[in-house]
Amino acid sequence: MIKLFHAPNSRSSRMIFLLEELGAPYRIQKVDIRRGNGTGSADAANPHPHGKVPAIEDDGALVFETIAITCYLTDKFPAAGIGPVVGSPLRGAYLSWLAYYAGVMEPAWVGKFMGVTPPRGTAGWVDPDEVMVYVNRTLERGPYLLGEQFSAADILVGTTFALFLGGPLLKRTTLLEDYVKRVTGRPAFARAQARENG
């Protein structure tokens, strides 16, 4: 049984979506986290080294950080078909999207939110407008990041877009709106929402 350390309305919410898509056996352990608005605190019950979420425990193994958990779980439950396995022609694109999400997309939006311009040539990320050129070009060939195949990468990107779409960080377009609807319209998303508070 996988134990998900979860704080409602946080990055761990999409891990519930992932676990539901995988059909994996899991239980949720709610933990407190420090929030951007100054509320919350580090929770001694949370094994993440910095008191953040998500983190999971599985058969004595601790896995933390979204991308590590995503790879770990989609590799553990390959029958669900949302994480291309080693040898699949889509494996490289899948891993690239996971790394791109963590290493380029999130830093781009955080930087924009904080008013930080990425130093050209030295930062590992780029301006959000450059990110969206690549994302839009990919989704125009879509309907998902890997083409016809929905993957766990869409869980990460689609749920992030659902949060930001139409706000100052992400312009609303028909292309992105349709993509978000495809991702959040999945039955596993509805089941995850129902379990959001434990």
What stretches of the chain show up as alpha helix (H) in DSSP?
13-22, 66-76, 91-100, 106-114, 128-141, 152-164, 174-184, 187-194
Question: What's the pLDDT score for residue 89?
Answer: 97
Splitting the chain (198 residues) into consecutive groups of 10 residues, what average pLDDT does each group show? 94 96 97 82 90 95 97 97 97 98 90 76 78 96 96 97 89 96 98 90
Question: What's the pLDDT score for residue 116?
Answer: 77
Question: What's the pLDDT score for residue 37?
Answer: 76
What is the C-alpha separation between 196 and 172, in angstroms, rounded? 26
The pTM assigned to this predicted structure is 0.93
Question: What's the pLDDT score for residue 121?
Answer: 63
Per DSSP, 95 falls in state H
Per DSSP, 3 falls in state E
